[in-house]
Amino acid sequence: MKAVAYGLLTLLYVLHTDVWYWDVSRMVLGFPIGFTYHVLGTIVITGTFWLVVRYTWPIELEAAEEHGVGTASNHLDCDLTSVESP
């Protein structure tokens, strides 16, 4: 599912520039199609981010919750070794 979520997200980036409706003024759902397309797009984007959050959440970063907050005086010595590199 991780690949699907990231794949969908990438696809949405590609589909953002909708050249196929560039000069079309037809009304769809009461609005010009170039507008409707992007409004509906935000709903699809929401669904995609739900998938991304659901299946690709960086759970390893939550380890930071178990540690106390560093201070301005010790942040040069902070230990981040349990935070995995992405």
Please report how close the Cβ of residue 60 comes to another protein at its closest, in angstroms. Answer: 9
Residue 77 φ/ψ, nearest 5 degrees: -105, 10
75 binding another protein? (CB under 8 A): yes
**Amino acid letter, 40:** L
Q: Say how far apart CA 69 and CA 2 lie, in whole Å.
A: 31
Residue 7 or 67: the one with the smaller Cβ distance to another protein is: 67
Please report how close the Cβ of residue 1 comes to another protein at its closest, in angstroms. Answer: 16
How many other C-beta atoms are found inside a 10 Å radius of the C-beta of residue 39? 10
Q: C-alpha angle with apex 62: 60 to 63, nearest 5 degrees?
A: 80
Q: Report the interface residues with another protein, using CB under 8 A.
A: 9, 12-13, 16-19, 21-25, 27, 30-32, 34-35, 37-39, 41-43, 45-46, 49-50, 52-53, 57-58, 61-65, 67, 69-76, 78-86
